[in-house]
């Protein structure tokens, strides 16, 4: 695969938290390459460093050492403003806790990233947000406030927000952690559809059912990658959903 199609390239990435005299080595040297169009599940025991890795990939945090290339551009060592712009342009991030603005409509939440879009890439932010909401199946819930939506709907608003800037990479840290099985499958079906259209997806999950929807599974243990293999018998979320819906 050519260099051009590499979305993420990590080399000997380390992250050490210093708490007083204690040093926590959350990541001890990660080498990882993710190419365009992949759908990767990151698994591992609690405390193995999944969120830490995800936050660094999402440019929310900076590595202690090692290199990180995103879309062919070095991003370790960028300053806070540059990281903010990268988050805005290249990355859509979906959190376990949704992280929507409270007492704010779905529409406004989805428009939020465009507010900070310095290139003004969307001529009509409101229309772009409407489109993103329609894509996640919430076209009719646009004016609902955050607290008027179910957990699954909130997560879909969060996904719409991640998509509105047309990023090259969708990151999700336990996107189904707060959802029941059926709603989780709905979210996975959405990821699947986005991935089928070419969006690169990386997600953290505890659950094998969810990880089985990915094309590739990476497992972390104590800050190192201990398993990295393709999913042979991939689960198709949309099909399962149709079956359970019929049952």
Ligand X SMILES: Nc1ncnc2c1ncn2[C@@H]1O[C@H](COP(=O)(O)OP(=O)(O)OP(=O)(O)O)[C@@H](O)[C@H]1O
CA 41, 188, 51, 157 dihedral sign is positive
Of the pair 160, 202, the CB lying nearest Mg ion is at 202
CA angle at 209 for the pair 93 and 184, rounded to the nearest 5°: 50
Regarding 176 and contact with ligand X (CB under 6 A), the answer is no
Sort strands 91-94 and 169-173 into parallel, antiparallel or unpaired: parallel
Using CB under 8 A as the criterion, what x/- string covers residues 105-134 for binding other proteins?
A: -------xx-xxx-----------------
Q: Please give the residue whose beta carbon sits closest to ligand X in the complex.
A: 51
Q: Which of residues 227-246 bind ligand X (CB under 6 A)?
A: none
Q: Which of residues 145-164 bind other proteins (CB under 8 A)?
A: 161
Regarding 46 and contact with other proteins (CB under 8 A), the answer is no
Of the pair 79, 229, the CB lying nearest other proteins is at 79
CA angle at 152 for the pair 167 and 174, rounded to the nearest 5°: 60
Using CB under 6 A as the criterion, what x/- string covers residues 15-34 for binding ligand X?
A: --x-x----x-x--------
Residue 51 CB, shortest distance to other proteins, in Å, is 9
Using CB under 6 A as the criterion, what x/- string covers residues 52-91 for binding ligand X?
A: x---------------------------------------
Q: Which of residues 18-77 bind Mg ion (CB under 5 A)?
A: 51
Residue 213 CB, shortest distance to ligand X, in Å, is 18
Contact (Cβ atoms closer than 8 angstroms) between residue 30 and residue 206 = no
- C-alpha–C-alpha distance, residues 6 and 242, integer Å: 34
* Short-list 57, 44, 43, 45, CA closest to 15: 57
Residue 93 CB, shortest distance to other proteins, in Å, is 6
In DSSP notation, 8-58 reads EEEEEEEEEEEETTEEEEEEEEEEEEEETT-EEEEEE-TTSSHHHHHHHHT
């Amino acid at each position: 695969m050519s260099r051009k199609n590499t979305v993420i390239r990590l080399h000997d990435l380390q992250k050490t938290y210093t708490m007083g005299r204690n040093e926590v080595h959350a990541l001890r040297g990660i080498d990882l390459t993710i190419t365009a169009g992949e759908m990767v599940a990151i698994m591992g025991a609690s405390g193995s460093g999944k969120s830490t890795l995800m936050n660094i990939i999402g440019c929310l945090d900076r590595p202690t050492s090692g290199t990180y290339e995103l879309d062919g551009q070095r991003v370790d060592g960028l300053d806070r403003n540059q990281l903010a712009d990268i988050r805005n342009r290249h990355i859509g991030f979906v959190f376990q806790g949704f992280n929507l603005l409270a007492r704010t409509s779905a529409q406004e939440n989805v428009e939020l990233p465009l507010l900070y879009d310095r290139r003004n890439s969307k001529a009509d932010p409101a229309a772009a947000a409407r489109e993103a909401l329609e894509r996640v199946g919430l076209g009719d819930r646009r004016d609902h406030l955050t607290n008027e939506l179910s957990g699954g709907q909130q997560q879909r608003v969060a996904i719409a927000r991640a998509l509105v800037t047309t990023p090259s990479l969708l990151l999700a840290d336990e996107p189904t952690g707060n959802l029941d099985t059926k709603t989780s499958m709905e979210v996975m079906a959405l990821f699947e559809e986005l991935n089928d259209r070419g969006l690169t997806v990386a997600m953290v999950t505890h659950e094998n059912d969810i990880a089985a929807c990915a094309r590739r599974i990476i497992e972390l243990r104590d800050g190192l990658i201990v398993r990295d293999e393709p999913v042979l018998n991939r689960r198709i979320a949309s099909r399962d959903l149709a079956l359970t819906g019929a049952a």
